[in-house]
Amino acid sequence: MNIAILSTNKNLYSTKRLVEAGEDRGHNMTVLNHTKCYVVMEPGKPEIYYKDRPVENIDAVIPRIGASVTFYGSSIIRQFEMRKTFSTLSSLGLVRSRDKLRATQILARHNVGFPKTAFAKYPSDVDYLIKQVGGAPLIVKLLEGTQGLGVVLAETRKAAKSVIEAFYGLSANIIVQEFISEANGCDVRALVVDNKVVASYKRIGKEGDFRSNLHRGGSGEKIRLSKIEKDAAVKAAQALGLKIAGVDLLQSNRGPLILEVNSSPGLGGVEQYTGVDVADKIIAYIEKNINKPLKQKDKVGA
């Protein structure tokens, strides 16, 4: 098969691993910078170009879309969908997962557990927001934040009110969530591929930081999830329409609580801490859905 990875940087760990895994399984792999692709539309003729060349003979795409180009990336995925090209990530799934408020509303509709969350537009609602999530300490999150950026722990009611009002003063969109103290600054990343948790590890925040993101200096260790935790991760991915997802959850006294569902999860941490070849499982998932013999001499137009 000819498989294209939509990535802005061919040297990123996840991109390189997917190329290696695909080639090891006998496929022709290419990396397309989706920000340099453009679409041309005529009735019944959805075209995709990379610079001045048409993108042709691609059997499947693996989107690795950064948060800063979600809108453009989703439009490129949608064009591939219009061409009936198999994609490991749908344009709808990407958009749903990147909007924290929309994702939380969808999880609520599907009865998936997550920390109690509140959202409002006006500063006059601050006191009600704080009360609704159980008071301080609480978490304030920017809706467009990633990798732990834009996430603030307010330890007192006074601090919470100041932080929320400051964000409102900047016209920033935020959500307010209850703080799960028993998690002790740790969360779990579960990698879901094709409705199954294929790997999981615990992320541990560095001393003095409640955020456990590896990008914020956290560390990790392999963990075995319970059936309830696995089911919660799979249910969250399914609710957002994701076949491949990195589901972040907290181990709380009332069961697993979903923090976030990532549609383009990095492979570095999970492969490092678990030893599981997640990239290989992603390629196998594509093979299962395409079931098309390799054309050795196919040339990918890009």
How far apart CA 105 and CA 122 sit, in angstroms, is 19
Where do runs of H (alpha helix) occur along the chain?
13-24, 70-82, 91-98, 100-109, 126-132, 157-169, 227-239, 268-274, 278-290
One digit per residue, pLDDT tens: the chain, 302 residues?
A: 999 999 999 999 999 999 999 999 999 999 999 999 999 998 888 999 998 899 999 999 999 999 889 999 999 999 999 999 999 999 999 999 999 899 999 999 999 999 999 998 876 788 888 999 999 999 998 887 555 578 899 999 999 999 998 988 888 888 999 999 888 888 999 999 999 999 999 988 666 555 545 555 567 899 999 999 999 999 999 999 999 999 999 999 999 999 999 999 999 999 999 999 999 999 999 999 987 544 444 444 33
Of residues 137, 191, 184, the one with CA closest to residue 163: 137
pLDDT at 294: 45
302 domain-assigned:
no
Same domain as 254, residue 231: yes
Whole-prediction pTM: 0.87
Of residues 281, 266, 153, the one with CA closest to residue 220: 266
Q: Which helix (H) or strand (E) holds 189?
A: strand 186-193
Same domain as 128, residue 40: no
What's the structural domain count of the chain? 3
Q: What are phi and psi of 133, to 5 degrees?
A: -100, 15
Structure tokens belonging to residue 236 = 């969250």
Same domain as 62, residue 8: yes
Please give the angle made by the CA atoms of 68, 70 and 76, to the nearest 5 degrees: 130
Same domain as 270, residue 230: yes
Same domain as 186, residue 175: no
112 domain-assigned:
no
Same domain as 274, residue 200: yes
298 domain-assigned:
no
Q: What is the pLDDT of residues 11-29, one digit of tens each?
A: 999 999 999 999 999 999 9
| Boundaries of domain holding 161 | 117-179
Q: What is the pLDDT of residues 206-241, one digit of tens each?
A: 665 555 455 555 678 999 999 999 999 999 999 999
